[in-house]
Amino acid sequence: MSKKLSITRVAMALVLLLGVSFGGALYYWYKNADVFGAAMTPAQQKPYFESKNFSDATFNNQLNTPLNQSFSLMISSLWDYMTAQNLAPKNNIKVIQTDSSLLANPLNKNQLLWYGHSSFLLQTANKTLLFDPIFSKIAAPHTSLGSPRYNDLLPIEPSQLPTIDAVIISHDHYDHLDYPTIMQLDAKVKHYYVPLGVGQHLLHWGISKERISEMDWWQSNDLDDITLTLTPARHFSGRRLGNSKSTLWGGWMVEAPQQRVFFSGDSGYGPHFKEVGKRFGPIDMALLDSGQYNFRWDKVHMTPKQSVQAAKDLEAHILMPVHWGAFTLSLHPWDEPAAQTALIAKEQRQAFVIPRIGELMQLQDEPKARAPWWKNF
């Protein structure tokens, strides 16, 4: 055997060994890292068998909602991503820094603060509610797997937040249920309200069962003077390969003495909005999924035109577009949800508000005219 051939074989063996080692380490991380949450085994799903929204080991939408997850879709999406324009702001978004004293006591407050994307804090009926909090720089299980947040600073750091009466989660995707954020906030949180199955992730992360309320569509829970109802949405769930739709997803209706607020969670357009409007309308403010849409997944996210129609279906006085302004998770210009919502809502005579990130809105006030702040970035 020649010396050159021996060196080649040694090199190939080293490459193979490194590949196997890397693959093994990656597999170990995937199987054991806490960020992925619960594995959602049949035993963990057993309590949900009685839900009429659960069958054949998955939760289901009210309407047929096919998900195209083919290899060809991935390739075409990657190509479009490489050629798309204006997917993120050119400059870091400057958010409003919120004075923590304005949030310290929710007594007699009726206000809302948007963190960007679908995260917002609501104070009403003497309670502080936090929806889908994600304070991380990346909306993914690892920092190498996503695009960075548009803003370096948060409106208010988690350490400065007051006691949180309830963290309310719409579904378990990484841009809505963020493990680092949950761990960072947990000492401040009294209780968690989540769709069926999502509580398994919280249990996996060491949160006690007594602090978790899992709910099915149309189920309600009272938090003193507030009634929280999980409503249907048209979407899906999953944090691991092969466990899509293993937990439920939904929107949230918040009924308080001074305010009726609806949050759609992630949702495609569907008849459930009219049903929510029929049961709970008129609604004071509706925070609706209006971003990260694409023709490839048009059944599980709404365009601005659809969100304006959904607001009308809901009998919502004020529409606020969410699911935009923080992360690039689709292929449209980053500010298109805001620009298109403003244009279409005006045409359709639908009142709307597009606050700056960190702006503390007083919900009893009528929405004031705002400059299109997104054009500055």
11 in any annotated domain: no
pLDDT digits (tens, 9 = 90+) for 321-372: 999 999 999 999 999 999 999 999 999 999 999 999 999 999 999 888 889 9
Residue 94 clears pLDDT 60, i.e. is over it = yes
User: 249: which residues sit within 8 A by CB, 6+ positions away?
Assistant: 59, 170, 171, 172, 195, 233, 235, 236, 237, 265, 266
Q: What is the pTM of this model?
A: 0.91
pLDDT digits (tens, 9 = 90+) for 214-230: 999 999 999 999 999 99
244 in any annotated domain: yes
Give the per-residue pLDDT at 32.
52
Residue 197 clears pLDDT 50, i.e. is over it = yes
pLDDT digits (tens, 9 = 90+) for 229-242: 999 999 999 999 88
State the pLDDT confidence band at 2, using cuts at 50, 70 and 90. Answer: low
Q: Which of 276, 278, 255, 257 is nearest to 267 (CA)?
A: 276
Residue 19 clears pLDDT 60, i.e. is over it = no
Residue 303 clears pLDDT 90, i.e. is over it = yes
78 in any annotated domain: no
Which CATH number characterizes residue 121's domain? 3.60.15.10
pLDDT digits (tens, 9 = 90+) for 30-72: 455 899 999 988 888 989 999 999 999 999 999 999 887 676 7
Which whole-number Å values give the CA distances from 352 to 232, 272, 302, 314, 333, in the listed order? Answer: 23, 21, 16, 14, 20
255 in any annotated domain: yes
State the pLDDT confidence band at 144, using cuts at 50, 70 and 90. Answer: confident
Residue 203 clears pLDDT 60, i.e. is over it = yes
264 in any annotated domain: yes
281 in any annotated domain: yes
285 in any annotated domain: yes
* Mean per-residue pLDDT over the chain, rounded: 91
322 in any annotated domain: yes
Residue 154 clears pLDDT 60, i.e. is over it = yes
Range of the domain at 355: 100-376
The number of distinct structural domains making up the chain is 1
Residue 14 clears pLDDT 60, i.e. is over it = no
Give the per-residue pLDDT at 27.
44
pLDDT greater at residue 211 or residue 72: 211
| Angle, alpha carbons 122-124-129 (nearest 5°) | 40
Q: At 244, list the tokens.
A: 């899509």
How much of the chain, in percent, has pLDDT values that exceed 70?
Answer: 91
Give the per-residue pLDDT at 367.
86
Residue 169 clears pLDDT 70, i.e. is over it = yes
**Of 60-64, 72-76, 174-178, 213-217, minimum mean pLDDT range:** 72-76
Q: Is the dihedral of CA 51, 55, 57, 58 positive or negative?
A: negative
Give the per-residue pLDDT at 37.
96
Residue 10 clears pLDDT 80, i.e. is over it = no
